[in-house]
């Protein structure tokens, strides 16, 4: 141990910083990947019970090793590159899909002190990072040299661009109420019990953000980019083995990311719903994980409940319903904050 600290002391400062950051990144990514694996398991179990089935229960005790078995199976499968595909882009696409989903975690605060980078413009950073996720899907569709994949990627690009606008406007409301772009500050701003959480004054924006989040992650009922019934599997129809698994990981990592953001922006992050005894005993990380889990359960519940939207209905909902709702609510907030004595409703 003493030798190790001596070795650490001999390293130049910049490499010390680099190593320390790398350790922190691993400490975030490893639990995240584990949660992704067990989210797939949870999804199959939850939907199974909703459809009066049992779900996977063969591998390991009560099926608990199922995600490991899935991972090993995908690792061992051959990666098939279709003839006529653009090989470099075909392989790069899944990486480009997963990367933004991981990058955004750099600024997500788990508790008051547990955050990799406490950035001032954190909210913008998250928006920018998640907006890059569409490239993986678009490039996958084009590089596959397949009609189904191409159609899927075009659908996905249009859908993600449309819902990103609604999402951005919903975040403008959060910004107006919290007065900062720093994610940690936004959560701290909601301290003092659940009636201070932003989902109450911003309820329409909260709904829009949640719906746009489901659409952004290409989840049911907005999963026309995959649309098994019309375009087989959409953008990843030509992918197999690990390349397919990366798309899968990206989708679930994005789900967890958006749930975490919803928890931080609208549901008080790691703060307890009541600021007194039995509730404050639970550690902050516990509250955070609980809120994220509840929102993730909503995602799974939606998938088990609703049929898939038709493509024109998706576009109509995005452009003609969600965006006007956010615009009106931002106008209402601005008016109330600046011209009426009820500004305390939105702005503390």
Partner 1 sequence: MTFEDAIFYFFAAVLLGSAAMVVTIRNPVKSALFLVLAFVSAACLWMLLKAEFLAIVLVLVYVGAVMVLFLFVVMMIDVNLAVLRQGFADYLPVGGLVAVLMVAEIALAVGPKQFAAGRLAHAATHVAHPHYSNTRALGMLLYTTYVYPFEIAAVILLVAIIAAIALTMRRRPDTKYQDPARQVEVRAQDRMRIVKMRTEPKA
Binding residues for partner 1, rule: CB under 8 A, are 14, 89, 119-121, 124-125, 127-128, 131-132, 134-135, 138-139, 142, 150, 154, 157-158, 160-161, 164, 181, 316
- Residue 244: how many CA atoms within 13 Å on its side-chain side? 21
What's the rounded Cα separation, in Å, for the pair 212 and 101? Answer: 16
- Minimum CB distance to partner 1, residue 156 (Å): 10
User: Is 119 or 232 the residue whose CB approaches partner 1 more closely?
Assistant: 119
For partner 1, the closer of residues 142 and 252 by Cβ is 142
> Closer to partner 1 at the Cβ: 161 or 345?
161
The SS3 of residue 263 is: helix
Burial degree of 35 (CB within 10 A; 0-12, 13-18, 19+): middle
Min dist CB 221 to partner 1, Å, is 16
Number of residues written out for the chain = 348
Distance CA 56, CA 270 (A): 32
Residue among 17 and 332 whose Cβ is closer to partner 1: 17
Cα–Cα distance list, 320 to 82, 184, 261, 324 (Å) = 39, 33, 25, 6
Q: Pick left, alpha or beta for residue 96 (phi over 0 → left; psi -120 to 50 → alpha; otherwise beta).
A: alpha
Q: How far is the CB of 235 from partner 1 (least distance, A)?
A: 12
Instruction: CB nearer to partner 1: give 66 or 182.
Output: 182
Q: Say which residue the tokens 């889990």 belong to.
A: 293
CA angle at 244 for the pair 45 and 60, rounded to the nearest 5°: 35
CB-wise, 73 or 316, nearer to partner 1? 316
């Amino acid at each position: 141990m003493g030798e190790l600290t001596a070795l650490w002391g001999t390293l130049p400062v910049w490499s010390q910083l680099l190593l320390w950051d790398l350790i922190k990144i691993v400490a975030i990514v490893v639990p995240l990947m584990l949660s992704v694996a067990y989210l797939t398991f949870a999804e199959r179990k939850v939907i199974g019970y909703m459809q009066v089935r049992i779900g996977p229960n063969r591998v390991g005790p009560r099926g608990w090793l199922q995600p490991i078995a899935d991972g090993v199976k995908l690792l061992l499968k051959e990666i098939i590159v279709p003839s006529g595909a653009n090989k470099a882009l075909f392989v790069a696409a899944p990486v480009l899909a997963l990367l933004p989903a991981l990058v955004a975690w750099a600024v997500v605060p788990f508790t008051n002190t547990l955050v990799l980078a406490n950035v001032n413009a954190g909210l913008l950073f998250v928006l920018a990072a998640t907006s890059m996720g569409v490239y993986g899907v678009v490039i996958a569709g084009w590089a596959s040299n397949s009609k189904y994949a191409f159609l899927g990627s075009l659908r996905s690009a249009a859908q993600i661009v449309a819902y990103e606008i609604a999402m951005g406007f919903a975040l403008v409301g959060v910004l107006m109420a919290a007065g900062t772009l720093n994610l940690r500050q936004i959560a701290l701003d909601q301290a003092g019990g659940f009636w201070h959480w932003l989902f109450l004054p911003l309820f329409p924006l909260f709904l829009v953000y949640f719906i746009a989040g489901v659409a952004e992650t290409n989840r049911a009922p907005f999963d026309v980019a995959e649309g098994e019934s019309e375009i087989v599997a959409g953008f990843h129809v030509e992918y197999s083995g690990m390349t397919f698994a990366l798309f899968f990981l990206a989708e679930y990592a994005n789900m967890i990311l958006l749930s975490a953001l919803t928890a931080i922006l609208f549901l008080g992050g790691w703060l307890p719903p009541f600021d007194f005894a039995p509730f404050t005993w639970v550690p902050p990380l516990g509250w955070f994980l609980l809120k994220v889990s509840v929102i993730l359960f909503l995602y799974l519940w939606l998938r088990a409940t609703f049929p898939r939207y038709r493509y024109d209905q998706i576009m109509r909902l995005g452009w003609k319903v969600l965006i006007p709702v956010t615009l009106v609510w931002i106008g209402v907030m601005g008016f109330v904050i600046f011209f009426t004595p009820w500004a305390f409703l939105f702005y503390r």
